[in-house]
Chains A and B, each alone.
Chain A
Amino acid sequence: MTLSPINRRRLENFRNNKRGYWSLWVFLGLFVFSLGAELIANDRPLLIRYKGELHYPLWQTYPETHFGGDFATEAEYKDPYLQQLIVEEGDGWILWPPVRYSYDTINYQLKVPAPSPPSAENWLGTDDQGRDVLARVIYGFRISILFALVLTGASSVIGVVAGAVQGYYGGKVDLFFQRFIEIWSGLPVLFLLIILASIVEPSFWWLLGIMLLFSWMQLVDVVRAEFLRGRNLEYVRAARALGLSNRLIMFRHILPNAMVATLTFMPFIFNGSVVTLTALDFLGFGLPPGSPSLGELVAQGKANLHAPWLGLSAFIVLSLMLTLLIFIGEAVRDAFDPRKVQP
């Protein structure tokens, strides 16, 4: 891929911002790491060797009878008896993921009442239902990022299209949309989100849709301004004179100019999405009960003040994630800033 000189300069600017550049890598690293959450924190082993054969419990369900147990139900790998069967009778071994709990595994072998403090078994302790905090944090991080990613993507697409249509056609369309947005953004968003979330059955996609109702407006203004400016430039007029369709002119010829504004806003929209999701989760109007959500962990930390590891884990993960995003956002914004001339 070849980059135009201006994009090369922007990339260079971004790289020169050490803080933002490294934040991006750390963030990407954590994200990729969390994508493989099933391989890191799971209550099933990654690999079992039993009677000379390899088994993959992550991908396949084996009944307990398969390993010489008594039940026809799925094998309970955390059961010491079954482990003994596999290792001794089957002359095999078990390869566990680093964290032997999934986000919904309940540790019934706790020696202290849940929430239990960090121990060799549960590195960050357990929550008030005896679930491993570390596993929940890893899965929670992933779901937050994925949610924010989809929300940011969707609101960017809607925002860009709305802004493009508004700015390109101008006139009455613009006026109408502008008034509509002024009204729509005058509403108390958080309250409406809470009411809407309390009406519907909470689920990932419902929540996404509800938030999308309000989040798409953030980009409209900048994209609109860019299109208003661009519609009368010489090259756009030339394109129109050549008989190109409006859609082609909008998205092929003007949009690239508007992408700069869009890109600089994205990390901040992303950040806002994570915060809103966590806030709703915290208040109990977010993701369905039982999902590994960081907001729920915060709520637990608040409810169990005698168990600081709950609040602390949530605090550290969330503030790390959000601070990284802000650093990235600032670096991107600076990199695209035309006033910043490369020496």
Chain B
Amino acid sequence: MIAFVVRRLFQAVIVMFVISLLSFSIQDNLGDPLRELVGQSVSEEERQALRDELGLNDPFLTQYLRFVGNALEGDLGTSYFFKEPALDVILNKLPATLELVFGATLIIILLSVPLGVYSAINPRSWFSKTVMGMSIVGISIPVFLTAIMAIYLFSVELNWLPSYGRGETVPVFGSWETGFLTKDGLLHLLLPCASLASIMLPLFIRLIRSEMMEVLESEYVKYAWAKGLSPLRIWFLHALKNTMLPVITVGGVQIGTMVAYTILTETVFQWPGMGFLFLEAVNRVDTPLIVAYLIVVGAIFVITNTLVDLIYGLVNPTVKLAGKKS
């Protein structure tokens, strides 16, 4: 088990190393920091002096090590556009994105568990068949298409829900402003969260269904039936517990994917979050911001993936074997 944890943590460190290397080469090759710092009227000698002073003439390795050292201290450079530390700019936008992901996760959990369990228990009912059919279509339609159709329907045609922005937000603490506490904010959350959830929801319904059906066939569930336990107890206490095991793993990995998908959702709904910021940064060639973003998102990916693997390793005893073998 310890070997597994160490191996997994080591791998996480390597991934972060590769991400930092990629980020650094992007920074190194994209744009000239001098152009941003000084104007046209500075002579070539002065430029050279400034380059030396900034350490831009140092060998690659020295520059890279300095970059990593700064990054570890939380200094990811200063955004050209905002003239603020890049990390601060990103962290300011983080709450909006996290709320989006949180809302979507909530929708997924609230819908996928009952629907998945129901269609596993009654696989032949018309309702399950409809759910399954819909889920195939749902899997195949990308999130931005769903989002645009939702806007047409609910914002343009029916005029029920707002189509862009976060609406009214209230500060919770620090720079964290939440839309969950106002009616307007909640209305603004509904469409983006539903769209973001739409891509994952079918996946989870199908996963829960197939896992649950497998568990329902197992010996211990049959034994529970034979004992004469109530169906509700068997389904929700005995069977669901083992069903959720693989679901947790997939769910954790998908959180990383979901952070990636917020880019598309945020673009459609002009949601002032991290993804929207990233696209603006790319269009403005705001290199420090792009690099900082890559590192933050990379860290989110790596941390969730590692945590999920570790938790799964703790919960599921069969993983230990796999860890030992390789």
B260 near A188 with CB under 8 A, answer: yes
Q: In residues 150-168 of chain A, which contact B (Cβ within 8 Å)?
A: none
Which residues in B have their C-beta under 8 angstroms from that of A199? 26, 29-30
For the complex, give the distance between the alpha carbons of A199 and B31 in Å. Answer: 10
**B15 and A183 form a contact (CB under 8 A):** yes
The 0/1 profile, CB within 8 Å of B marked 1, for residues 226-269 of chain A is 00000000000000000000000000000000000000000000
Is the pair A190, B19 in contact by a Cβ cutoff of 8 Å?
no
- Measured between beta carbons, the chain A residues less than 8 angstroms from B11 are 179, 182-183, 186
Would you mind naming 29 contact pairs between A and B with Cβ atoms under 8 Å apart? Answer: A186-B305, A187-B22, A188-B256, A191-B260, A192-B22, A194-B282, A195-B294, A199-B26, A275-B142, A279-B144, A283-B263, A283-B264, A302-B151, A302-B268, A305-B151, A305-B155, A305-B156, A305-B163, A306-B156, A315-B145, A315-B149, A318-B141, A318-B142, A319-B140, A319-B145, A322-B142, A323-B137, A326-B136, A327-B136
Number of residues of chain B lying within 8 A (CB) of chain A:
44
Residues from chain A with Cβ under 8 Å of B267 in the complex: 282-283
Convert B290-318 into 0s and 1s, putting 1 for each residue whose CB lies closer than 8 angstroms to a CB of A: 10011001100110010000000000000
Determine if A128 is an interface residue (Cβ-Cβ < 8 Å): no
Chain A contacts of B14 at CB under 8 A? 179, 183
Q: Which of A294-339 contact B (CB under 8 A)?
A: 298, 301-302, 305-306, 308, 311-312, 314-315, 318-319, 322-323, 325-327, 330
Is B250 among interface residues, defined by CB-CB distance under 8 A? no
A278 is an interface residue with CB less than 8 A from chain B: yes
Contact between A195 and B142 (Cβ–Cβ < 8 Å)?
no
* CB pair B139 A326 closer than 8 Å: yes
Taking a contact as CB atoms closer than 8 A, the residue among A198, A279, A285 that contacts B142 in the complex is A279
Q: Verify A191–B297 contact, CB threshold 8 A.
A: yes
**Complex partner residue of B264 from A183, A282, A308, A315, CB under 8 angstroms:** A282
> B264 touching A189 by the CB < 8 A rule?
no
A102 at the interface (CB under 8 A from B): no
Partner of A279, one of B136, B163, B264: B264
Task: Tell whether B278 is near chain A: CB-to-CB under 8 Å.
Answer: yes
B148 within 8 A of A: yes
Report which of A179, A186, A191 forms a contact with B302, defined as CB distance below 8 A: A186
On chain A, the residues within 8 Å of B19 by CB distance are: 187-188
In the complex, the answer to whether A298 meets B148 with C-beta atoms within 8 Å is yes
A188 touching B298, Cβ below 8 Å:
yes
- State whether A311 touches B298 (Cβ < 8 A): no
Q: How far is the CA of A199 from the CA of B283 in the complex (A)?
A: 10
Shortest 6 CB-CB distances between A and B: which pairs?
A322-B140, A186-B15, A326-B140, A190-B260, A323-B140, A275-B142
Minimum C-beta distance from B203 to chain A (A):
12
Check: B152 CB closer than 8 A to any chain A CB. yes
Q: Which residues of B contact A275 (CB under 8 A)?
A: 142
Within 8 A of A (CB), among B1-53: 11, 14-15, 18-19, 22, 26, 29-30
Given that A183-B11, A186-B15, A301-B148 are known contacts, is A191 also in contact with B141, CB under 8 Å in the complex?
no
Tell me, yes or no, whether A271 is within 8 Å of chain B by CB. Answer: yes
Contacts of A283 in B (CB 8 A): 263-264, 267, 279
Tell me the bound Cα distance from A314 to B152 in angstroms: 13
Q: Is the CB of B152 within 8 A of A186?
A: no
Encoded as 1 (CB less than 8 Å from any B CB) or 0, chain A from 271 to 289 comes to 1000100110011110000
Chain B contacts for A306, CB-based, 8 A: 156
Establish whether residues B290 and A330, one from each chain, have CB atoms under 8 Å apart when the complex forms: no
How many whole Å from B229's CB to the nearest CB in chain A? 30
Contact pick for A323, options B136, B293, B301, CB 8 Å:
B136
Q: Contacts A198-B283, A330-B136 given; 15 further ones with Cβ under 8 A?
A: A187-B22, A188-B256, A198-B285, A199-B30, A279-B264, A282-B264, A283-B279, A284-B283, A298-B145, A298-B148, A305-B151, A308-B156, A319-B137, A322-B141, A326-B136
| Interface core residue of A182, A283, A284, A306 (most chain B CB under 10 Å) | A283
B residues less than 8 Å from A271 (CB atoms): 140
> Are B144 and A298 interface neighbours, CB within 8 A?
yes
* Interface bits B133-163 vs A (CB < 8 Å: 1, else 0): 0001101111011001101100110000001
Chain A residues whose C-beta falls within 8 Å of the C-beta of B145 in the assembled complex? 298, 314-315, 318-319
Beta-carbon nearest neighbor of B163 in chain A:
A305
Given A192-B22, A322-B140, the answer on whether A187 and B152 have CB atoms closer than 8 Å is no
Q: Which residues does chain B contribute within 8 Å of A194, judged by CB atoms? A: 263, 278-279, 282
Do B140 and A190 touch (CB < 8 A)?
A: no
Contact A195 B140 (CB under 8 A): no
Q: B101 → chain A, closest Cβ, in Å?
A: 14
| B149 CB contacts on chain A under 8 angstroms | 311, 315
Which chain A residue lies CB-closest to B23? A195
Cβ-neighbour of B148 out of A182, A189, A311, A330 (below 8 A): A311
Interchain CA distance A8-B294 in the complex, whole Å: 50
Q: How far is the CB of B93 from chain A (nearest CB, A)?
A: 15
Given contacts A183-B14, A191-B293, contact A305 B144 (CB under 8 A): no
Chain A residue nearest in CB terms to B141: A319
- Closest chain-B Cβ to A189's Cβ sits at a distance in Å of 7
User: How many angstroms from the CA of A191 to the CA of B301 in the assembled complex?
Assistant: 12
Chain B positions within 8 Å of A285 at CB level: 282
In whole angstroms, how far apart are the Cα atoms of A268 and B14 in the complex?
30
CB distance from A278 to the nearest CB of B (A): 6
B80 to chain A minimum Cβ distance, whole angstroms, is 15
Bound CA span A81–B3, Å: 82
